């Protein structure tokens, strides 16, 4: 997992509540043998005017000009502003895979579905929950000013707006440590790499027939 | 020192690190890999820029998606083919101790090829992204099925995060009757303790009836431990274990062999070791078993009848039985022996080894498939099993009886390839799961031993195989 420390990036406002995982990545894309490459199909049914199928080249597909991600001013955005209950529906880990593959590292909203919220942390995506008044203000500012950027500092737990206002947010200390260091379960286990190596060497000496 | 169970010995010899809450890092000796549950794990590894911790622990094969006939045509289904080709590419890139790809002479079901190549050895921890990994416990291995994220975890760290299980001893004393096999013991145990009876436990099988079983029989038993809810099945090491492994391709040789055997001999529960639960069965009382419902615990003897929901007081249980009978298209109180059989499947990681095929062939010999039976598939567990069976002439016996002799693979155990049931068809199957739709949408599976499956093939119904002798 990529570590997350600070991010200075363009924000895009997705002004909808209850965005479910099937909207984030429609079910026909789950047959894939991969967990990367879902980015072009993120929000597939909203982004494109035709029906998407797995394995299709998306570059030539007709885009929906009204969908916010397609607007020129939001290209390259890495921060997604969302509304209530983002990520509800099935538990598919493909949803955070798709968001991450598209380039999003931070999601800011008033609430996130539980399983989705967990899945984000496993995949290097930071979901931030803020009171609705603050989210409203971010939406307002973001829509008003082109090139609206936010600076997210995980260690300090702050979001800095272009006007200099600093918003602090909560994050579980254990998850914070994992994200800062880029630790997933594997990363955590590898903190014991020396112990594993020592165990392995002793085992190799005691039971060489397992290491043929 | 306090008397230890086999499970405790295997557990304590693999703990690398333990957290205060009892979660432990367990060192993994052998990682078996197949095409369905590995692609995302390989990719995750690559994306994170990680290398497998110990490539020589990996043994891989393609089994779930591979066709069992017309190998010259390759894999026709594009989604299946892509999964198999992805495994090919991943192993080419990453490496492995051994890889038995599609069409290889030693390709086969992952739980068949492990033991027969000697890559499954006593005292090992064995994992695979497949629940029936419990099979390998027959060799006194601690063998677990794992999920895709854990496959990646094991590749990257050579460890698995685990909590210790409770221990259960299933003790089967006495002598099995004629026509009664390991599969019948397994189904009888599940019928007794239920499909959740082993949840949270590692089950060790012991007693004189288990010691009398061949390694093939013990694998059948441990394979089904997962259907009793257990994470692992175990049998202690004895002469049968050692004899089976001697001269297997990847088994140690020479001095190393002697050293290994000396250690392996200690891999059994100590006299007086305490188990959290003990279940006892009398081997002589076990009769040929047939499942009638949609869970392996819905099982009867061949002489029995399908239950009558009206006689079941517990409303939850009654409803479960009613639903199962409806799916299976069976009326209450139907004698098991009157259930008509449309197809027969002899195969799967439960019953596709040479001994299983011998038992089926002994019944099929000189007989013919019943006219009412549409198809009988015999699918050996591996290329090695296939060739051994052919050397003994078993293929001829099956073909003469009107059975189809196929190429190795998982086949109709889960119907991921082209072998499957039509809706409503009843199948006498030597596999391990009779869930709704397991062998094809609407298909009705009855789990039985290979001998009982062959008997069903030649009579068109479930008969006590002892009547055919
Ligand atoms: S034979 Fe059946 S149970 Fe065994 S590994 Fe294959 S699909 Fe799974």
Quick count: other Cβ atoms within 10 Å of Cβ B388? 17
Written as six digits, the tokens of B389 are 């069976």
Q: Is the pLDDT of residue A71 over 70?
A: yes
Written as six digits, the tokens of A16 are 């909808």
Q: Which residue of B has its CA nearest to A2?
A: B48
Q: What is the pLDDT of residue A31?
A: 65
Written as six digits, the tokens of B71 are 């190998």
Q: What is the pTM of this model?
A: 0.83
The full set of domain ranges for chain A reads: 6-181, 184-212
Residues contacting A29, CB < 8 A, separation 6+: A38, A41, A44, A52, A54, A94, A98
CB–CB contact A35 B43 (8 Å)? yes
Strand order in the sheet with B15-18: B15-18, B24-27, B159-162
DSSP state of B148: H
Query: Which residue in the set A34, A199, A200 is minimally distant from B40, CB to CB?
Result: A34
Q: Which residue's C-alpha comes closest to atom 6 of ligand 1?
A: B410
CATH number for the segment(s) A6-181: 3.20.19.10
B157 contacts in A (CB within 8 Å)?
186, 189-190, 193, 196
DSSP state of A148: -
- Residue pair B464/B454 in contact (Cβ under 8 Å)? The answer is no
CB–CB contact A35 B40 (8 Å)? yes
B132 lines ligand 1 (CB under 6 A): yes
CB–CB contact B56 A1 (8 Å)? no
Compute the distance from residue A131 Cα to the ligand 1 centre, in Å. Answer: 50
Residue carrying the six token digits 């062999």 = B257
SS3 B26: strand
Written as six digits, the tokens of B431 are 């596999």
DSSP state of B392: T
- Residue pair A170/A157 in contact (Cβ under 8 Å)? The answer is yes
Strand spans (E) along A56-121 = 79-81, 106-109
Q: What is the pLDDT of residue B337?
A: 96
Q: What phi and psi, each to the nearest 5 degrees, are found at residue B278?
A: -125, 130
Which among A98, A121, A209, A211 is the top mutation candidate for probing chain B, defined by the most B β-carbons within 10 Å of its own β-carbon?
A209
Please give the Cα distance from B32 to A5 (Å, whole number).
Answer: 37
Q: Which residue of A has its CA nearest to B37?
A: A33
CB–CB contact B153 A195 (8 Å)? no
pLDDT in tens, A14-62: 998 888 888 898 876 766 677 788 999 999 989 999 988 877 899 999 9
Angle between helices A114-122 and A94-102 (to 10 degrees): 50
B227 lines ligand 1 (CB under 6 A): no
Please give the Cα distance from B339 to A191 (Å, whole number).
Answer: 58
Domains of chain B (ranges; CATH) run 6-164+238-262 (3.30.499.10), 166-233+269-285 (3.40.1060.10), 289-468 (3.30.499.10)
B263 contacts in A (CB within 8 Å)?
207
CB–CB contact A196 B124 (8 Å)? no
Written as six digits, the tokens of B17 are 């690190």
Written as six digits, the tokens of B411 are 């086949």
Q: Which of B342, B368, B370, B364 is nearest to B429 (CA)?
A: B342
pLDDT in tens, A106-126: 999 999 987 788 789 878 899
Q: What phi and psi, each to the nearest 5 degrees, are found at residue A131?
A: -60, 150
SS3 B310: helix
**Mapped to the 3 state alphabet, what secondary structure does B179-217 carry?**
CCCHHHHHHHHHHHHCCCCCCCEEEEEECHHHHCCCHHH
Please give the Cα distance from A166 to A162 (Å, whole number).
Answer: 9
Please give the Cα distance from A44 to A99 (Å, whole number).
Answer: 12
Written as six digits, the tokens of B393 are 């002439």
Query: Which residue in the set A31, A186, A193 is minimally distant from B79, CB to CB?
Result: A31
Q: Is the pLDDT of residue A91 over 70?
A: no
pLDDT tens, residue order, chain B (469 aa) = 789 999 999 999 999 999 877 889 999 999 999 988 888 899 989 988 999 999 999 999 999 888 888 898 998 888 788 889 999 999 999 999 999 999 999 999 999 999 999 999 999 999 998 889 999 999 999 999 887 778 899 999 999 988 899 999 999 999 999 999 999 999 999 999 998 899 889 999 999 999 999 999 999 999 999 999 898 999 999 999 999 999 999 999 999 999 999 999 999 999 999 999 999 999 999 999 999 999 999 999 999 999 999 999 988 889 889 989 999 999 999 999 999 999 999 999 999 999 999 999 999 999 999 999 999 999 999 999 999 999 999 999 999 999 999 999 998 888 777 788 999 999 999 999 998 888 988 899 999 999 999 999 999 999 999 898 6
Q: Which of A36, A3, A10, A5 is nearest to A104 (CA)?
A: A10
Identify the sign of the CA torsion B193, B199, B200, B204.
positive
Q: Residue B93: enclosing H or E segment and its boundaries?
A: helix B78-94
DSSP state of B270: P
What number is the average pLDDT over the span A147-165? 98
CB–CB contact B159 A189 (8 Å)? yes
Q: What is the pLDDT of residue B146?
A: 84
Q: Which residue's C-alpha comes closest to atom 4 of ligand 1?
A: B349
Q: Is the pLDDT of residue A174 over 80?
A: no
Q: Is the pLDDT of residue A127 over 80?
A: yes
Residue carrying the six token digits 């394979």 = B223
Q: What is the pLDDT of residue B233?
A: 97
CB–CB contact A207 B123 (8 Å)? yes
Q: Which of B416, B432, B434 to mutate to test the pocket of ligand 1 (most atoms within 8 A of CB)?
A: B432
What number is the average pLDDT over the span A159-186? 91
Identify the sign of the CA torsion A174, A178, A184, A190.
negative
Written as six digits, the tokens of A168 are 């602090």
Query: Which residue in the set A36, A193, A212 is minimally distant from B250, CB to CB?
Result: A212
DSSP state of A66: T
Q: Which residue of A has its CA nearest to B249?
A: A212
Q: Which of B143, B413, B430, B447 to mutate to test the pocket of ligand 1 (most atoms within 8 A of CB)?
A: B413
Q: Which of B268, B261, B323 is nearest to B292 (CA)?
A: B323
Q: Which of B24, B123, B256 is nearest to A196 (CA)?
A: B24
Please give the Cα distance from B27 to B125 (Å, whole number).
Answer: 7
Which among B24, B41, B47 is the top mutation candidate for probing chain A, defined by the most A β-carbons within 10 Å of its own β-carbon?
B47
Q: Which of B353, B400, B409 is nearest to B376 (CA)?
A: B400
pLDDT grade for A148, boundaries at 50, 70 and 90 = very high
Please give the Cα distance from B189 to B297 (Å, whole number).
Answer: 9
Compute the distance from residue B16 Cα to the ligand 1 centre, in Å. Answer: 31
CB–CB contact A196 B29 (8 Å)? no
Q: What is the pLDDT of residue B131?
A: 84
Alpha helices in A91-153, H assignment, sequence order: 94-102, 114-122, 132-144
B156 contacts in A (CB within 8 Å)?
186, 189-190
- Residue pair B417/B379 in contact (Cβ under 8 Å)? The answer is no
Q: What is the pLDDT of residue A20?
A: 84
CA separation, residue B279 to residues B224, B268, B432 (Å): 16, 18, 21
Please give the Cα distance from B110 to B104 (Å, whole number).
Answer: 13
Q: What is the pLDDT of residue B65?
A: 84
């Amino acid at each position: 997992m990529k570590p997350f420390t600070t991010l200075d990036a363009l924000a895009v406002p997705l002004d909808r509540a209850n965005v479910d995982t099937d909207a984030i990545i429609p079910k026909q894309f789950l047959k894939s043998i991969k967990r990367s490459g879902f980015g072009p199909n993120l929000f597939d049914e909203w982004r494109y005017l035709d029906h998407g199928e797995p394995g299709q080249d998306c570059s030539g597909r007709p885009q929906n000009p009204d969908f916010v991600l397609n607007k020129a001013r939001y290209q390259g955005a890495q921060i997604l502003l969302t509304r209530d209950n983002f990520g509800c529906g099935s538990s598919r880990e493909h949803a955070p895979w798709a968001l991450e593959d598209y380039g999003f590292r931070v999601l800011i909203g008033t609430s996130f579905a539980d399983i989705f919220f967990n899945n984000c942390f496993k995949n290097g995506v930071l979901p931030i929950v803020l009171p609705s008044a603050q989210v409203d203000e971010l939406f307002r500012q973001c829509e008003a000013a082109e090139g609206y950027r936010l600076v997210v500092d995980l260690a300090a737990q702050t979001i800095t707006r272009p006007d200099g206002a600093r918003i602090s947010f909560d994050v579980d200390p254990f998850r914070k440590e994992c994200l800062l260091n880029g630790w997933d379960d594997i990363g955590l286990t590898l903190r014991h790499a020396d112990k594993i190596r020592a165990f392995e060497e002793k085992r190799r000496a005691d039971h060489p027939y397992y290491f043929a | 020192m306090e008397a230890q169970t086999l499970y405790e010995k295997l557990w304590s010899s693999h703990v690398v690190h333990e957290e205060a809450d009892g979660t432990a890092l367990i060192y993994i000796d052998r990682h078996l890999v197949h095409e369905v549950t590995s692609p995302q794990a390989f990719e995750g590894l690559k994306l994170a820029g990680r290398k497998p911790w110990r490539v020589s622990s990996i043994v891989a094969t393609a089994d779930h998606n591979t066709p069992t006939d017309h190998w010259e045509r390759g894999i026709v289904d594009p989604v299946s083919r892509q999964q198999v080709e992805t495994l090919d590419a991943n192993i080419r890139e990453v490496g492995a101790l051994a890889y038995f790809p599609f069409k290889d002479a030693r390709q086969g079901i992952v739980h068949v090829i492990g033991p027969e190549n000697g890559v499954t050895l006593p005292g090992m921890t064995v994992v695979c992204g497949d629940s029936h990994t419990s099979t390998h416990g027959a060799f006194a291995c601690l063998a677990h099925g794992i999920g895709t994220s854990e496959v990646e975890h094991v590749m990257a760290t050579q460890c698995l995060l685990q909590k210790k299980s409770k221990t259960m001893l299933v003790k089967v004393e006495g002598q099995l009757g004629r026509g009664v096999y390991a599969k019948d013991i397994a189904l009888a145990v599940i019928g007794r303790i239920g499909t959740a009876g082993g949840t949270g436990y590692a089950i060790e099988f012991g007693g004189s009836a288990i010691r009398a079983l061949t390694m093939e029989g013990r694998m059948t038993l441990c394979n089904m431990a997962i259907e009793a809810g257990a994470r692992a099945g175990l049998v202690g090491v004895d002469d049968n274990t050692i004899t089976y492994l001697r001269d297997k391709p990847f088994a140690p040789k020479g001095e190393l062999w002697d050293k290994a055997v000396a250690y392996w001999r200690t891999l059994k529960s100590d006299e007086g070791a305490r188990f959290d639960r003990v279940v006892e069965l009398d081997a002589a009382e076990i009769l040929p078993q047939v499942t009638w419902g949609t869970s392996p615990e819905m099982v009867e003897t061949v002489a029995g009848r399908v239950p009558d929901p009206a006689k079941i007081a517990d409303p939850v249980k009654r409803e479960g039985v009613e639903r199962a009978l409806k799916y299976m298209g069976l009326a209450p109180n139907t004698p098991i022996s009157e259930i008509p059989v449309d197809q027969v499947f002899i195969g799967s990681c439960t019953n596709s080894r040479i001994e299983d095929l011998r038992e089926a062939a002994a019944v099929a010999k000189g007989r013919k498939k019943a006219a009412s039976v549409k198809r009988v598939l015999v699918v050996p567990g591996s290329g090695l099993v296939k060739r051994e069976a052919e050397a003994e002439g078993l293929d001829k016996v099956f073909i003469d009886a009107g059975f189809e002799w196929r190429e190795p693979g998982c086949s109709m155990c889960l119907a991921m390839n082209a072998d499957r049931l039509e809706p409503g068809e009843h199948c006498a199957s030597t596999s391990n799961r009779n869930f709704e739709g397991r062998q094809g949408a609407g298909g009705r599976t009855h789990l039985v031993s290979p001998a009982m499956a062959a008997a069903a093939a030649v009579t068109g119904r479930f008969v006590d195989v002892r009547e055919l002798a």
